[in-house]
């Protein structure tokens, strides 16, 4: 695993030495927006109008951030309009690869590239930074629209409504204040919290991450004891953003990332809520536990040097969720 520096691939793991053993997620570089008519969005350039068949999504089925985008593509009826390529679950010295020797890894459907970094270099031959999924690619301008999942899901939520006729709104105006509040805490302590615990290379950094993580799970359990969804009666992006971490919690984060004060299945409301979301139409098809299990345990050899993939709990995701 590595990153691009002025268009050149450098194989190096995250630098936690300069930060006292702490994993710091870097900010995202490509921040354009697809909009209904191509006017510029909240950041970046204009020129990216919604259109059927124009955009392509690069994902890993293991990655919780890419998973958000895949879920929004499914629940917003975009599957026939936005095509997808799936990387191989192993993320090794060359970063994400388009090898196809794993079920569900499609290769690069657009260019037949070998590595995801080749896609970044097509967009900018001098690109610098981490080569991450998801990537939303524009086939017309031959460039990256965005590699920020939080923004890709908002584009998917509304920009293509004219095309699909699907007006379901997971980011309703009236709930935005509460959505932002929940997202901020969930991002820092849960979505990214599990990574901060798992990638910590000092006891102090681990403690700093793992305690707030479980404080937040207690807080979320309390919210879901009183409410159907995180903001109340309405299912919003705040739920989906938590879901992709929740569904990975017992299979991966509990053991591999040492997030083991409790299993998620010990929280009755969070557990029922996770299964309810899993069972919503189109969602189960976006969850691939083989990619998830393989990616984390095989790629992170500094955490799991023998690359043994654990047996894992047997979970019946289709069991009635009881959240009625
Ligand atoms: N801010 C990005 C983060 C995406 C991200 O970190 N993805 C991980 C996979 S789970 C990745 O591709 N990591 C490769 C790397 O850091 O080199 C987003 O949410 O879209």
CB within 6 Å of ligand 1 — which residues?
1, 28, 60, 63, 65, 95, 130-134, 147-150
Does residue 15 surpass a pLDDT of 80?
no
Number of the ligand 1 atom closest to the C-alpha atom of 26: 1
Is position 205 within any domain?
A: yes
Confidence of residue 79 (pLDDT cuts 50, 70, 90): very high
Same domain, 210 and 142: no
Residue nearest to atom 17 of ligand 1 (CA): 130
Judged by average pLDDT, the poorest of 26-35, 165-174, 220-229, 314-323 is 26-35
Contact 22, 200 (CB under 8 A): yes
Q: Report the pLDDT averaged over residues 24-38.
A: 85
Tell me, in angstroms, the distance from the centre of ligand 1 to residue 97's CA: 14
Q: Which residues are catalytic?
A: 63, 195
Is position 306 within any domain?
A: no
Same domain, 21 and 147: yes
Is position 315 within any domain?
A: no
Q: Report the pLDDT averaged over residues 112-140.
A: 96
Does residue 27 surpass a pLDDT of 70?
no
Domain holding 46, by residue range, is 3-164
96 labelled ligand-binding: yes
Same domain, 208 and 99: no
Rounded CA separation 160/138 (Å): 14
Is position 29 within any domain?
A: yes
Same domain, 79 and 129: yes
Mean pLDDT value across the chain: 96
Taking alpha carbons only, the member of 68, 16, 56 closest to residue 137 is 56
Contact 284, 295 (CB under 8 A): no
Does residue 280 surpass a pLDDT of 80?
yes
Same domain, 160 and 180: no
3 state SS of 97: strand
CATH of the domain at 116: 3.40.30.10
pLDDT of residue 312: 86
Same domain, 10 and 126: yes
Residue nearest to atom 8 of ligand 1 (CA): 132
Same domain, 144 and 179: no
The count of structural domains within the chain is 2
Q: What is the pTM of this model?
A: 0.96
Omega before residue 134 within 30° of 0, cis: yes
130 labelled ligand-binding: yes
CA-CA-CA-CA torsion sign (254, 255, 257, 262): positive
pLDDT of residue 28: 63
Q: Which residue out of 132, 145, 190 has the highest number of ligand 1 atoms within 8 Å of its CB and is therefore the one to mutate?
A: 132
Confidence of residue 150 (pLDDT cuts 50, 70, 90): very high
Q: Report the pLDDT averaged over residues 223-237.
A: 98
Does residue 26 surpass a pLDDT of 70?
no
Tell me, in angstroms, the distance from the centre of ligand 1 to residue 132's CA: 4
CATH of the domain at 177: 1.20.1050.10
Is position 313 within any domain?
A: no
Same domain, 156 and 20: yes
Residue nearest to atom 11 of ligand 1 (CA): 132
What's the alpha-carbon Rg for the chain, to the nearest Å? 19
Does residue 227 surpass a pLDDT of 80?
yes
| Percent over 70 (pLDDT), the chain | 98
Q: Report the pLDDT averaged over residues 13-34.
A: 78
Same domain, 123 and 187: no
Does ipTM top 0.85? yes
């Amino acid at each position: 695993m590595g990153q691009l520096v002025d268009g050149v691939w450098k194989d190096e793991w995250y630098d936690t030495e300069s930060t006292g053993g702490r994993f710091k997620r870097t900010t995202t570089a490509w921040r354009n927006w697809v909009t209904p008519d191509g006017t510029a969005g909240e950041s970046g350039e204009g020129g990216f109008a919604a259109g059927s068949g124009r955009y392509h999504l690069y994902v890993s089925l293991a990655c919780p951030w890419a998973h958000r985008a895949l879920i929004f593509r499914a629940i917003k009826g975009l599957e026939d309009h936005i095509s997808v390529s799936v990387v191989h679950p192993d993320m090794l010295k060359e970063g994400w690869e388009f090898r196809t020797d794993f079920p569900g890894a499609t290769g690069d459907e657009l260019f037949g590239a070998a590595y995801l970094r080749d896609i970044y270099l097509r967009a900018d031959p001098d690109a610098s930074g981490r080569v991450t999924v998801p990537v939303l690619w524009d086939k017309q301008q031959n460039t990256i629209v965005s590699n920020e999942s939080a923004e890709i899901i908002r584009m998917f939520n509304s920009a293509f409504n004219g095309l699909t006729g699907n007006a379901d709104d997971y980011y309703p105006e009236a709930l935005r204040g509460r959505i932002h509040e929940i997202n901020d805490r969930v991002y820092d302590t849960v979505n990214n919290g599990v990574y901060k615990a798992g990638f910590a290379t000092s006891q102090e950094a681990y403690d700093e991450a793992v305690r707030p993580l479980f404080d937040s799970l207690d807080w979320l359990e309390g919210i879901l004891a009183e409410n159907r969804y995180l903001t109340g009666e309405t299912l919003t992006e705040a739920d989906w953003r938590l879901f992709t971490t929740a569904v990975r919690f017992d299979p991966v984060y509990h053991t591999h990332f040492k997030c083991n004060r409790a299993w998620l299945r010990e929280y009755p409301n969070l557990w029922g809520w996770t299964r309810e979301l899993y069972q919503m139409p189109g969602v189960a098809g976006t969850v691939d536990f083989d990619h998830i299990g393989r990616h984390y345990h095989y790629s992170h050899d500094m955490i799991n040097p023998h690359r043994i993939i654990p047996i894992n709990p047997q979970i019946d995701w289709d069991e009635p969720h009881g959240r009625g």
